[in-house]
Amino acid sequence: MDHLFEKTIKTTPIYQGKVIDLQVDDVTLPNGKKSKREIVKHPGAVAILPITKEGKLVLVRQYRKALDKVIVEIPAGKLERGEEPDAAARRELEEETGYRSEKLHYLISFYTSPGFADELIHLYECADLEKGQGALDADEFLDVLEVTLEEAEQMIRDQTIYDAKTAFAVQYMKLKEVGRT
Amino acid sequence: MDHLFEKTIKTTPIYQGKVIDLQVDDVTLPNGKKSKREIVKHPGAVAILPITKEGKLVLVRQYRKALDKVIVEIPAGKLERGEEPDAAARRELEEETGYRSEKLHYLISFYTSPGFADELIHLYECADLEKGQGALDADEFLDVLEVTLEEAEQMIRDQTIYDAKTAFAVQYMKLKEVGRT
């Protein structure tokens, strides 16, 4: 697939942040022309589709500074340095919702914005939730909601749910539901 | 929902690029503490779920510099300045695949990475594709594939399809298929 590849001539670091780094790569395109690629480096993240014993979906409502908006999402968070994705999924679920479960089931991983970022999200399903012992993380500012599949679908229509991983998770839940009937 | 909001104290522009800009905002958290938010500004994008008259899904295989990988995605591209999403969807479909269609149907919009970026993707379904008149865009380096739903599902399992919007689109197609039977 050499007719698709770009060759890196030079990498220029622009910014090293707490969550992301930015670099600009000078590249040679497959036709020999030169171009530049703006690339955001991200440590990767996990997201969890948590289902209560009553079959409800647990969601978090939070403010997202990048959007200047409050939206509702499945619990998620970035990987700590050296942390395994399944450990991160258990940690984020409990920190954000107070729930825990032994039944953690890996579903899928996907890049969120392959055009400019390398963020990879690992998505897990977590069933038969139990209330954990710990207090919620004091540095997380969020509300925990428990909704039915129908309520989640309505939240997609009215843009209360407004992000890719959560829309994927709701559709996944719907597919399981349809498969069951 | 004042218990969720962050107040901006200062915005520091870091980089203005061809595709993205980076800024760092100093904020006051709901508990009064100070923090910083690294924010990527993006013009927004469209993606298209194109279905041929034979019911096949049209995909593009392309190299993504941010990942240093070739992956397979639904056709997509960023909005040009002042461009309406449905016009962008028609343009990107034809530039990337050579197909066009009068039947453009809006499905959903979602943020891809609300933790650090404001990229919003508008997703359209496009049925009954016709071969367009124009040549493929000479600046696009990609292969066009036509696959069945089953083949697309296999491509998700083996990580040939490895991005959120495409995984969502394949699941959407599956839900329609399940609904039909």
Query: Are the Cβ atoms of B19 and A118 closer than 8 angstroms?
Result: no
- Quote the percentage of chain A above a pLDDT of 70: 96
Residues A165 and A131 grouped into a single domain: yes
Residues B12 and B74 grouped into a single domain: no
Is A167 in the same domain as A109? yes
> What would the pLDDT profile of A140-158 be if each residue is shown by its tens digit?
799 999 999 999 999 999 9
Cβ-Cβ pairs closer than 8 A, A with B, add up to 202
- Nearest-CA residue of chain A relative to B162? A110
Quote the CA–CA distance of B36 and B10 in Å, as a whole number: 10
Portion of chain B with pLDDT greater than 70, in percent: 96
pLDDT greater than 60 at residue A181: no
| Residue A21 parent element (H or E) | strand A21-28
Q: Which domain holds residue A151?
A: 45-180
Please name the residue of chain B whose CA is at the shortest distance from the CA of residue A75. Answer: B115
Pair of tokens at residue A170: 């709701």
Say yes or no: A20 and A78 in one domain: no
Residues of chain B with Cβ-Cβ distance to A24 below 8 Å are 17
Same domain, A66 and A15: no
Task: Report the predicted TM-score, pTM, of the whole model to 2 decimal places.
Answer: 0.95
- pLDDT, residue A102, reads 85
Interface of B with A in 102-141 (CB under 8 A): 108-119, 121, 138, 141
Residue of B nearest to A143 (CA): B4
B16 contacts on A by Cβ (under 8 Å): none
Contact B141 A4 (CB under 8 A): yes
Q: Do B117 and A114 touch (CB under 8 A)?
A: no
Rounded to 5°, angle at Cα A173 from A63 and A158: 45
Task: Measure CB to CB from residue A165 to each of B1, B27, B164 and give the nearest one.
Answer: B164
pLDDT digits (tens, 9 = 90+) for A17-56: 999 999 999 999 999 999 999 999 999 999 999 999 999 9
The closest alpha carbon to B156, from B166, B148, B143, B147, belongs to B166
Is A61 in the same domain as A27? no
Q: Are residue B25 and residue B60 in the same domain, yes or no?
A: no
Residues B138, B172 share a domain? yes
Cα dihedral B20, B41, A23, B7 in deg (nearest 10): 160
Which pLDDT score, from 0 to 100, does residue B135 have?
A: 65
Residue A135: pLDDT band by 50, 70, 90 thresholds? Answer: low
CATH of the domain at B63: 3.90.79.10
pLDDT of residue A1: 73
Closest A-chain CA to B109: A162
A64 and A7 both lie in a single domain: no
- Considering the domain architecture, whether residues A54 and A134 belong to the same structural domain is answered as yes
Residues in chain B: 181
* A29 and A68 housed in the same domain: no
A71–B18 CB contact, under 8 Å: no
Alpha-carbon gap, residue B158 to B155, rounded angstroms: 5
Contact call for A116 and B3, based on CB within 8 A = no
Asked if residue B154 and residue B88 are part of one domain, the reply reads: yes
CA torsion angle for B63, B68, B70, B72 (degrees, to 10)? -90
The domain tally of chain B equals 2
Handedness of CA A19, B14, A112, A23 (dihedral sign): negative
